[in-house]
Chain A
Amino acid sequence: MTNNFRHQKVPGSSWGLPGICLWQKKPNNTEELSHEKQPQNAINRVLVCLALAVLLLATLPPSAWALTTERASARPNDSSQKLVIGGRPTRITWVGNVAENEEVTSITLMFPVGCSLTDDTYVKVQEMIMDDPMHPQRNDPAYSIELDSTHLYLQFETPIQPNNQLYIEIFNFCLPELTGEYFITGSYTDGPGRSHDLSAQQNPIVVVAMTRTQKLVDAIGEWEWVQSWNSVMFLRVFFNPAWFVASIPVLFKGWLISLLLVTLGFPLAIPIGLGFSFMRMSKFRVLRGIASVWVNFIRGTPLFLQIYIAFFGLPLLGVRIGNYPLAVLVLAMNSSAYLAEIFRAGIQSINKGQFEAASSLGMTGFQTMFSVIIPQTIRRVIPTMTSEFILLYKDTSLLSAVGVMEQMMYAKALANTTANLTPYVVSACFYLIITLPLTRVISVFEKRLAASEGRAEPPEDTKAGRIRLGRSDQDSDKSTASLQARRSDAGESAAAQTLSQGTGLRESND
């Protein structure tokens, strides 16, 4: 890309304004020649300089701004796509605006000390014609170029025109390896051939030294087996080892957020759900009606839609809740409807005789409920509740569609910039960290439940039970099926039917 064009001006030697250069150089040149006439000369010199200064003041202000730096930036190049790591190839973009009535014939960009080029370094230059600021048009100017690790010099065949924007991109360029804030300085020549300094860029380029993760990711990418592994399209796109490692720290953050959302939302859903289950079983028709409308609305519509309504609809009604609290609230509301059905089924699965026995002992309805029925219900509903928790946890991924920064969002952002789907696979693994142990918990609870219901299971039945549990590992919803099977033994199939319907409906929604 570099070209042999040589330019009279050595960049960096005389960046000062022309007037100032004169001031410094003239005394040296004339010193010996006019030694005797020093006093007169001194006065003359001061006069000349004064005149020059006045001239400069009059002419410089407009021309000093002939080209102002709009911005200079570097593309993030680390595995999380957030940081600019020094010593790794990145893309530098420098943008400058040409002033009204001015032209730019050449430009020199000076790079910070410690930059380096790679074999693939190349430069792209565009002149953006800004006649209509709403619709800039591009023009590819002809230029000669000089590029090394210290500077880039461009001499344009046709000057960059007034009002236009100069857009320079340097690809596969390495910034210094030391952490720090870097600026791109430089100079340019205007139409009449005067040289000026570039104005400083507003925001520095923040460069960090090589990170440990990045070192590991780079090392993995170089391994031989990784390279042959990556030669298969499917493996490269879904199971790229380097991206796998790179995704873990980024997704961990999102994983914690997802977990937090569900651990706050689910406990909130329990009392609400219990309330609705009581309303569903109430003697009052109005309460029953309200509860069944709510439960059927929530269970009959996709969570995705509810999230949309809450996030995009509520703000338009003037209800402004933060993103995370709203997310927790939506999850809690959604889960409460399912829990209401689970609780109702659980309560109704308790033998009616217990209600009658309690009231014959003189207990009130309230007492019966809280000291006799609910304690028994809790044990029975824990497996179903756990599967509801798992479902809700998985559903947090839907929140990424409305811009809640949770695990799926991090995975999406990462997959975007890398054009690789490995982050999604890592994301799946993170979900499994929670869901696999929980499905195990369900089966343990179910076993205990079966034992405590006072039925010593014969050996064959245990075997059958294990097969059923094995199935429940794959789909936690099915755990209700085994619950139902047991219940039917005990002659309480009707309630269990409701229970399985409760979760069955959810399945069809998802």
Chain B
Amino acid sequence: MSVPKKMASSAIAFMLAISFALVGCTSNNNNNSNSGGGSEATNELGLIEEGKLICGSDCDYPPFIWLDESGKPVGFEVELMEAIAHDMGLELVYLEPQNFDSLPTVVAGGGKMDLAVSSMTITDVRLETINFCIPYYDSNQAVVTLVDSPYTSIDDLAELTVGAQAGTTGYDWAVENLPNATIKTFNQTSEGMAALRAGEIEALFFDEPVAIEHVSTGYTDCQVMQVIPTGEQYGFAVSKDNPALEAAVNESLQRLIDNGTYAEIFSRYFDFEPTIK
């Protein structure tokens, strides 16, 4: 009987040690930034690695981002980020695909990515943990069903099983508006689309531009049942502790919007005029 007791007490000791260590770390950091704020001129943007802009994404959201045959991220967001990084004189680095739902926590925690660039809608809830740069895309929600689906309106879905990507505004929308439906979550939108095809779910909720791209390219057996106007806007997520980077990215993005580079990149991916000004 003494073994579990010992284990329990050592586990508690371990936890305490960790928490003390962390308290120590954070207070040290605070001291550093308080005393030597001006001396950090070498890396005034607070980048994780000097000279590099490290971005994280789920890398599965065409036309914004997807992986090409060689596993390299491509898409509207990637080109836009490349332009911004070039403008800021930094090298753009994309991390391996991340789980979308973990992005806000990772950005807030710091130390892994400078920006989360993943078609992330600016919401009041997310703003509690992270900051956003100025919006770079106007989006809406969409409901995708199979072409031969008997359902024609959102009311038809009220009691059914539907899906959404974990941590997305599509999930939030479904939870709020379909309280009697069963809502399944997926790590990637493509997993949700596979589940839709397999009949696991009757409809999938995600962002309008991606829904339209999916049904017109790979998933021709699926259709956009309805677009739900929500007027949401995408922004690059940045840590609250890093206002310098946020300001620098904002300035750079605004410059690209003003000088037409943004519109030029936009026109390569969308057949309508950009609404961001």
Q: Which residues of A contact B (CB under 8 A)?
A: 71, 73-76, 81-82, 91, 93, 95, 126, 128, 130, 133-138, 165, 167, 171, 202, 206, 229, 231-235, 237, 311-312, 314-316, 320, 323, 401-403, 405, 409, 412-413, 415-417, 419-421, 470, 473
> Are A171 and B124 in touch, CB under 8 angstroms?
yes
- Which single member of A233, A316, A413, A415 contacts B109 (CB below 8 Å)? A233
> Are A323 and B200 in touch, CB under 8 angstroms?
yes
Q: Which 4 A-B pairs have the closest CB atoms?
A: A138-B231, A128-B229, A403-B184, A136-B229
Beta-carbon nearest neighbor of B194 in chain A: A312
Main secondary structure of the interface of A (DSSP, over half): mixed
> Are A138 and B195 in touch, CB under 8 angstroms?
no
Contacts A136-B140, A237-B105, A416-B101 known; 7 new A-B pairs at CB < 8 A: A134-B208, A135-B272, A167-B231, A402-B195, A403-B163, A405-B182, A416-B171
**Do A419 and B22 form a contact, CB below 8 Å, given A311-B198, A403-B186?**
no
Beta-carbon nearest neighbor of A234 in chain B: B22
> Are A403 and B197 in touch, CB under 8 angstroms?
no
Distance in Å: Cβ of B196 to nearest Cβ of chain A = 10
Interface residues as binary, B213-242 with A (CB distance below 8 Å gives 1, 0 otherwise) = 000000000001001011100000000000
**Do A312 and B197 form a contact, CB below 8 Å, given A138-B275, A405-B182?**
yes
Which of B43-51, B173-181, B250-258 makes up part of the contact surface?
A: B173-181
Task: Decide yes or no whether B126 CB sits under 8 A from chain A.
Answer: yes
> Are B230 and A71 in touch, CB under 8 angstroms?
no
> Are B179 and A206 in touch, CB under 8 angstroms?
yes
Q: Which residues of B contact A231 (CB under 8 A)?
A: 26
> Are A315 and B166 in touch, CB under 8 angstroms?
no
Task: Decide yes or no whether B264 CB sits under 8 A from chain A.
Answer: no
Q: Which residues of A contact B187 (CB under 8 A)?
A: 401
Q: Which residues of B contact A82 (CB under 8 A)?
A: 175, 179
Query: How far is it, in angstroms, between the C-alpha of A298 and the C-alpha of B254 when the chains are bound?
Result: 54
Query: How far is it, in angstroms, between the C-alpha of A320 and the C-alpha of B140 when the chains are bound?
Result: 33
A-B contact pairs, 12 of them (CB 8 A): A75-B172, A95-B229, A128-B140, A136-B140, A202-B155, A232-B26, A312-B195, A315-B200, A402-B200, A417-B171, A417-B172, A419-B128
Q: Which residues of A contact B129 (CB under 8 A)?
A: 419
Beta-carbon nearest neighbor of B226 in chain A: A133
Distance in Å: Cβ of A82 to nearest Cβ of chain B = 7
In the complex, the number of residue pairs spanning A and B with C-beta atoms less than 8 Å apart equals 127
Q: Which residues of B contact A237 (CB under 8 A)?
A: 105, 108-109
Beta-carbon nearest neighbor of B104 in chain A: A419
Distance in Å: Cβ of B69 to nearest Cβ of chain A = 21
Q: Which residues of A contact B125 (CB under 8 A)?
A: 417, 419
> Are B167 and A416 in touch, CB under 8 angstroms?
yes
Interface centre among A232, A315, A401 (most CB of B within 10 A): A232
> Are B201 and A403 in touch, CB under 8 angstroms?
yes
8 Å CB interface, B26-50 against A: 26
> Are B105 and A421 in touch, CB under 8 angstroms?
yes
Query: How far is it, in angstroms, between the C-alpha of A134 and the C-alpha of B129 when the chains are bound?
Result: 32
Beta-carbon nearest neighbor of B23 in chain A: A232
Distance in Å: Cβ of B144 to nearest Cβ of chain A = 12
**Do A235 and B22 form a contact, CB below 8 Å, given A167-B230, A403-B163, A413-B185?**
yes
Task: Decide yes or no whether B79 CB sits under 8 A from chain A.
Answer: no
